[in-house]
A and B are shown apart, each in its own frame.
Chain A
């Protein structure tokens, strides 16, 4: 099953920004997005 991991906020980047990690069926990283609100 596809899974999504959200890290929000990213403490190690001064507490700004979030990372969305999308995993594929095998649990490998398929695509990652960094957003800075």
Chain B
């Protein structure tokens, strides 16, 4: 009986686990999913291993939902295996869609990350200076770990991706819509991001209060001000990525009085979300005086991490040139 159901796989790469939670957060809807499909691989919840996937026939899995960025050789091997076995691959969530927060590591490389994480943080006690090795020997036993890449990749920089479910994590409505569309075969053209192609500001109730020009002289972080729950965040001097970000979140963040951080990535017309935001932001500044502009920009903490929080590998920047900081 169950053999007739389409087979579905879930896999995670460099991620926080929030995308797995998003699947669980489908609550009773997950029963509808399980009724309609056979889950053949899901490391967080089911005991199937790589060796169970390997003998499957190519293209025998209807769809693989893969979350997380790719930063380890093990993840690269697994996503290539799942690509071969699957008719469709859906990049599930911001980190597989665009690189996400793990990809901010592309401002560094393996060497500098290992040095910081395993040697120089104030809380580290590591007198032997041990760092993770691909091969090591402990008490005469050989142990292995996957290779850690210098650069973190979005999923489509490693394998061919059919669709993208955006978000950090994708909201329930979009997941159910995507699952429904796949089961009914009512899919948009390959490569589509499964959320409306317009900016968050277009859907935002606060849009009417967005000013033509900002009159503020410094940028504040959300915790530094009492935010007006009805007024455009940019008008309040708080960075909101809404102008450069795709809609579809159900405005959950904005309704909770938190500005958009950009997790849905740009609309189809835009390649570089950070550059798009900077362009929108620059046109809002109410001054032509270069020194004044510089003064305002100086009040933005961590500009690269703010404007490229989710999309660094899928931007013109892509990564830092490490030779430039040596």
Residues of A within 8 A of B (CB): 8-9, 11, 14-15, 20, 22, 31, 33, 35, 37
Contacts and interface: CB of A to CB of B under 8 A. Distances in A.
Nearest to A8: B49
Contacts of B47: 11
Contacts, number: 30
A37 B143 contact: no
B141 A11 contact: no
Interface band, chain B: 10 to 19
Overall SS of chain A's interface = mixed
Interface of B: 12, 17, 42-47, 49-50, 72, 74, 138-139, 141, 143, 145-146
Nearest to B141: A22
Given A8-B49, A14-B17, A35 B145 contact: yes
A2 to B, nearest CB: 10
A11 B44 contact: yes
Given A9-B43, A33-B138, A37-B74, A15 B143 contact: no
A30 B17 CA distance: 33
Given A9-B49, A15-B42, 12 more contacts: A11-B43, A11-B45, A11-B47, A14-B17, A14-B44, A15-B44, A15-B45, A22-B141, A33-B138, A35-B143, A37-B74, A37-B145
A9 B42 CA distance: 11
